[in-house]
Amino acid sequence: MCGIVGYVGNKNCVPILINGLKRLEYRGYDSAGIGIVNHNSITIVKNKGKVSFLEEKVDKLDLESEIGLGHTRWATHGIPNELNAHPHANEDQTIFLIHNGIIENYQVLKKGLQSFGYEFKSETDSEVLVHLIDSFTKRGHDITKSVQLSLHEVEGTYGLAVISSKEPDKIIAARKGSPLVVGIGDNENFIASDVSAIISYTKQIVYLEDGEIAVIKKNEFTAKTAFDNEIEKEIHEISMTLDEIDRGGYAHFMLKEIMEQPESLRNSIRGRIIDEDGRAILGGLRDVVDKLADSKRIILAACGTSWHAGLVGEYMFEQFCRIPTEVEYASEFRYRNPVIEKEDTVFFISQSGETADTLAALKEAKIKGALVLGICNVVGSSIARETQAGVYTHAGPEIGVASTKAFTTQLTVLALISLLIARKKNLSKVDGQQIASELKLIPEKVEEILKLNLQIEKIAEEFKDASNFLYLGRGYNFPVALEGALKLKEISYIHAEGYPAAEMKHGPIALIDENMPVVFIAPKDSTYDKIVSNIQEVKARGGRIIAIITEEDEQLNKLVDYAIRIPSTIRMLMPILTVIPLQLLAYHIAVKKGLNVDQPRNLAKSVTVE
């Protein structure tokens, strides 16, 4: 959840740390801080709020150092304030650290340390670590050994970086459950919780694994296990460019990412369809495809938007593969001791590949012996590496907190997997060809829908002051109703609920009056007549209706207050199209309310704590 960046080399690290923190801000942004060493003494500067506030403070101090650490915090233990911000230092001001994750036994450790006279300045769990490490250095161990011994006593998760002013040539980094990478440069090395923090300095990346400790000096990098065994680490050359990460001329990352969808969808489909056979090929599933097709049951586990993608996947897998499919909240899955058989396949869907709940559920499914597969966007992420096989969505970096292109590419990959399995089972070549050709047309159709941006902006103007919204859809479009409501909630702070349209009469209809906008996802499909009746019911009660309808639909065009007319495709792919206007509607409402679209309050891009 929090962001970590560190530098050791020949240059002044201060601007490098500040730039890195700016890149990481999307992961958590309630406070930030840096720590550096100069002439064997440490300087720590911290600030509540955005990295730009920290930058102003740092600029006034004219700091310089060749080694340092930076951190953006998203509070878990203790309110966001300067004292709780990282780095945390020991009493003697000789050791400081930054930490991402949660120390679960921190109360026990804290009591023990207090009984030895340690005083705590913050309410954080992280501060325990610095005093624990200090206690080992006081017993004569060097900083590397002290970190290692401390971690033996710790229960929980960490991405950790530590510097001692007594050994100011090195950063000690350790990882368990929170992402951490080392960037290899020329006479300089970096650490970061996310490659985007250091990509402008190096593309040579080493991924640390759980349980590993790294010692990073300017010309040297070594990694060990918790039990001191040296590990040979592979250096990966990464291809992501800064341009990909930047906003590309749009006012917000979210808008850029909505507009990028034709391209990200093309990337997601490219090379994965054999037209003449009506088949999909997914290299990442090559070794497991037979076992997958023979699964007795498929479980899709995820959180948030990725969970909504899973719900659409359930419709696809059951319709085309005829395999019983269940969708689970990863957070619930882990704790209720789920029944998982060896013949089951569990897919973990995650944009970031770092979501703690999803990762924990993955470990549980692995223990129970299921085939464990991933659908991830971030290459080399923890979920991508922990699963036995999987498919990348290739959406490109998603920076806006509200997930958009990750969702539509997840749906694309789920459709490709359905096609892959269904053709192995009983789907005919002709039917396979129809899915394949419709999939290929999706990016163009999304381009058409994006042209409705201005129309949707005008609708947003009409509805920006509403306090509640209802989103209704049926079948494949019920998960889209949930997703539309989530988008609106998270960035505009307007209360919104999604329901299967038929459920309206079982309760939500009581809410409907002239102050309740209702968004219907109503393309022409087999449930069309039913949804027209639902729309009539809302109209009869004075509700204002926005409807996503198919281009040729004159009936609903006349009936509803605001019709957004989009191209059509086969039912299984319709959610990729129907969700686009809902993303734009949420975006424009939030902008018109003057809200911070890319960094909504209380949210972080990647939820790496439970």
Residues serving a catalytic function are: 2, 605
Cα distance between residue 83 and residue 89, in whole Å = 11
**Does 399 engage in binding with ligand F6R (CB under 6 A)?**
no
Tokens encoding 151: 């971690």
DSSP label of 70: E
**Does 257 engage in binding with ligand F6R (CB under 6 A)?**
no
Q: Residue 488 in 3-state DSSP?
A: helix
**Which residue, 36 or 312, is less far from ligand F6R as judged by CB?**
312
Q: Which of residues 463-522 bind ligand F6R (CB under 6 A)?
A: 486, 490
**Does 358 engage in binding with ligand F6R (CB under 6 A)?**
yes
Q: Give the sign of the dihedral formed by CA 174, CA 180, CA 183, CA 187.
A: negative
**Does 328 engage in binding with ligand F6R (CB under 6 A)?**
no
Contact 566, 314 (CB under 8 A): no
**Does 351 engage in binding with ligand F6R (CB under 6 A)?**
yes
**Which residue, 147 or 309, is less far from ligand F6R as judged by CB?**
309
**Does 47 engage in binding with ligand F6R (CB under 6 A)?**
no
Cα distance between residue 312 and residue 395, in whole Å = 18
CA atoms within a 13 Å half-sphere pointing along the CA-CB vector of 539 = 15
Cα distance between residue 212 and residue 228, in whole Å = 9
- Taking CB under 6 A as the criterion, the residue among 202, 268, 403, 578 binding ligand F6R is 403
Contact stretch for ligand F6R (CB under 6 A) within 283-291, 301-309, 321-329, 563-571 = 301-309
* Number of residue whose CB is nearest ligand F6R: 304
Shortest spacing between CB 278 and ligand F6R, in angstroms: 30
Q: Residue 478 in 3-state DSSP?
A: helix
Tokens encoding 12: 């002044």
**Which residue, 150 or 410, is less far from ligand F6R as judged by CB?**
410
Q: How many residues does the chain have?
A: 610
* Beta-sheet strand order (sheet of 95-100): 88-89, 95-100, 158-164, 171-176, 212-216, 221-225, 230-231
Tell me whether strands 31-38 and 41-48 are parallel, antiparallel or unpaired: antiparallel
**Does 355 engage in binding with ligand F6R (CB under 6 A)?**
yes
Cα distance between residue 336 and residue 320, in whole Å = 29
Contact stretch for ligand F6R (CB under 6 A) within 13-21, 123-131, 165-173, 297-305 = 297-305
**Does 374 engage in binding with ligand F6R (CB under 6 A)?**
no
Contact stretch for ligand F6R (CB under 6 A) within 88-96, 300-308, 472-480, 583-591 = 300-308
Contact stretch for ligand F6R (CB under 6 A) within 22-30, 196-204, 284-292, 304-312 = 304-312
Cα distance between residue 157 and residue 146, in whole Å = 18
- Taking CB under 6 A as the criterion, the residue among 350, 418, 550, 583 binding ligand F6R is 350
Shortest spacing between CB 173 and ligand F6R, in angstroms: 23
Residues that bind ligand F6R (CB under 6 A): 303-306, 350-352, 355, 358, 402-403, 486, 490, 606-607
